[in-house]
């Protein structure tokens, strides 16, 4: 037997509640149709052939000639083995032992000419070519081979070892086919890419893959920001271009990670953004220009963050400030934690050098930092990075002075310190311009020993306060204890090297 109410609704139409629900669905459908659809990733093409045909003429092979020691064996019967051979190390050790037994004055191995191969790409019709610095480094001759078989000598316009970029020039008889740079910042993990180069000297070869990762730091240099790809990149691909699906260069293939020397699906390219800046600088100034702050920094660890009253480890801890540098003039101090530079967050230490380097020279940038648990801002005028050695020599050193204070010893934190008396300075080779207390013993197996503290190390500050006597160290520890902190931050020096250490207060002996 049917429900009479439902039957009535069935005959007369929807009830009031159901009609309202249907109207709401209609409004929602209209809103969804009006809203923009999310951008969908471009599907893989049926073929890369058209793209490859268009790009191959602008990709070149680069061969270089070098002077090298002769590789001819000095021991009769010593075999020449390919790189990576399991016997290579054995015969290498045997050969070195033989050489060490040669009589004094024996003739050295003769010089010989060696050739190496790499890749590059044309960026102007008039013959400008981009490649890796390591492809042409120390070359006595550079020859460029084009896709149609022509060859031409090339001269070096400029190079930058830190970014591993070099700019070459050939003198063509007619305009050359060339490629343009794209926006490497828009490349996303999962995007299709095409790599073209000269693997193993085989000539122009095309491989395809995807962007596997971005912002890779592989400890190749201070400004690592590589694009990682699984497109096959092998020996000889160095300096070749990485293209997006619009045929624009978004990276320069530079390195691979491989135990065998061949591709295992982990290759790295320098982003086009970095390459373009270096090329512009080389063309205008003859060398790469980078922003300079004038600080040495270290990573903020969990215990250092706690000792500074920070909620979590973030930013770059200022280890030292060079006298006369932009940082010094802006009032940045040792022990400050830089958490933002020119509006860009510094989530971890390694981001700061890259951001500063990419900042316009002469620009007044805002620096956000944490000092003694308090957040503050400073204005710094970005300088130009010079050779570190020359900059250090040009910097003014503080006026010499002698530490004063009692020679009493304080045993705390798993170490024993005393005042920097003339006798202690002489014993440990501490300069007269250094202030602090000197470590004279370290408890074996203690936390200080685990952190690398050793006799002769000078403690210059505790909780970002200068230390000149052992009592200053004790007072700094007590101050941190009263503030409820579990660790205390020490600024230490050994010779000319400075760093920060966080030691647990519960190990301190009153």
Tell me the C-alpha distance between 115 and 201, whole Å: 11
Q: Kindly give the residue spans of alpha helices, DSSP state H, lying in 374-510.
A: 388-394, 422-428, 447-450, 470-482
C-alpha pair distances (Å), 297 with each of 205, 263, 300, 351: 43, 35, 9, 11
Tokens of 383: 């300088």
Q: Which residues are CB-contacts of 368 (< 8 A; sequence separation ≥ 6)?
A: 338, 339, 340, 341, 375, 376, 377
**Residues counted in the chain:** 510
Catalytic residue among 66, 124, 134, 224: 134
d(CA 216, CA 258): 16
Measured in whole angstroms, the distance separating CA 374 from the mean position of its chain's CA atoms is 29
238 is catalytic: yes
- Which residues are 417's β-sheet partners? 410, 439
SS3 31: helix
Catalytic residue (one of 164, 230, 303, 342): 164
Active site residue 479: no
Contact between 150 and 86 (Cβ < 8 Å): no
Inter-CA distances, 238 with 59, 118, 119, 290, 364, Å: 12, 6, 6, 24, 37
Which H helix or E strand runs over 295? Answer: strand 295-299
Q: Is 312 among the catalytic positions?
A: no
Please state, as a whole number, how many other Cβ atoms lie within 10 Å of the Cβ of residue 133.
21
Tell me which of 238, 254, 263, 487 is the catalytic residue.
Answer: 238
> What are the catalytic residues?
134, 164, 238
């Amino acid at each position: 037997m049917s429900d009479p109410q439902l039957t009535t609704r069935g005959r007369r139409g929807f009830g009031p509640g159901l009609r309202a629900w249907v109207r709401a669905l209609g409004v929602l459908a209209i809103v969804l149709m009006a809203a923009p659809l999310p951008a969908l990733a471009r599907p893989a093409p049926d073929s890369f052939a058209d793209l490859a045909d268009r790009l191959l003429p602008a990709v070149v092979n680069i061969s270089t000639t070098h002077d090298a020691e002769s590789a001819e064996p000095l021991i009769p019967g010593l075999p020449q083995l390919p790189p990576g051979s399991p016997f290579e190390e054995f015969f290498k050790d045997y050969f070195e032992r033989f050489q060490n037994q040669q009589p004094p004055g024996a003739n050295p191995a003769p010089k010989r000419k060696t050739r190496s191969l790499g890749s590059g790409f044309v960026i102007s019709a008039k013959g400008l070519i981009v490649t890796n610095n390591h492809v042409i480094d120390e070359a006595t001759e550079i020859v460029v081979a084009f896709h149609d078989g022509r060859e031409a000598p090339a001269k070096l316009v400029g190079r930058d070892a830190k970014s591993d970029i070099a700019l070459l020039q050939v003198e063509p008889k007619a305009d050359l086919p060339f490629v343009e740079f794209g926006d490497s910042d828009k490349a996303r993990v999962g995007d299709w890419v095409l790599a073209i180069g000269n693997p193993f000297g085989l000539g122009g070869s095309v491989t395809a893959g995807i962007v596997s990762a971005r912002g890779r730091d592989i400890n190749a240099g201070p400004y690592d920001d590589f694009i990682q790809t699984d497109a096959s990149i092998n020996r000889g691909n160095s300096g070749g271009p990485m293209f997006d699906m619009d045929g624009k260069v978004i990276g320069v293939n530079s390195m691979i990670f491989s135990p065998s020397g061949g591709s295992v699906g982990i290759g790295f390219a320098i982003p086009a953004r970095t390459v373009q800046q270096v090329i512009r600088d080389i063309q205008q100034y003859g060398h790469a220009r980078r922003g300079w702050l004038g600080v040495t920094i270290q990573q903020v660890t969990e215990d250092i963050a706690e000792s500074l009253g920070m909620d979590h480890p973030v930013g770059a801890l200022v280890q030292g400030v060079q006298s006369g540098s932009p940082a010094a003039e802006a009032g940045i101090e040792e022990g400050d934690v830089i958490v933002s530079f020119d509006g860009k967050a510094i989530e971890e230490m390694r981001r700061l050098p890259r951001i500063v380097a990419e900042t316009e020279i002469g620009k007044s940038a805002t620096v956000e930092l944490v000092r003694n648990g308090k957040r503050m801002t400073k204005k710094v005028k970005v300088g130009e990075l010079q050779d570190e050695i020359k900059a250090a020599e040009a910097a003014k050193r503080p006026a010499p002075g002698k530490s004063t204070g009692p020679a009493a010893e304080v045993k705390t934190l798993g170490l024993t310190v005393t005042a920097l008396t003339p006798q202690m300075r002489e014993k440990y080779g501490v300069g007269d311009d250094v202030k602090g207390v000197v470590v004279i013993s370290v408890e074996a197996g203690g936390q200080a020993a685990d952190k690398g503290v050793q006799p002769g190390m000078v403690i210059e500050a505790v909780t970002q306060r200068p230390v000149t006597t052992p009592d200053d160290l004790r007072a700094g520890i007590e101050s941190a204890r009263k503030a409820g902190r579990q660790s205390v931050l020490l600024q230490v020096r050994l010779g000319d090297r400075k760093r920060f250490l966080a030691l647990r207060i519960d190990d301190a002996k009153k």
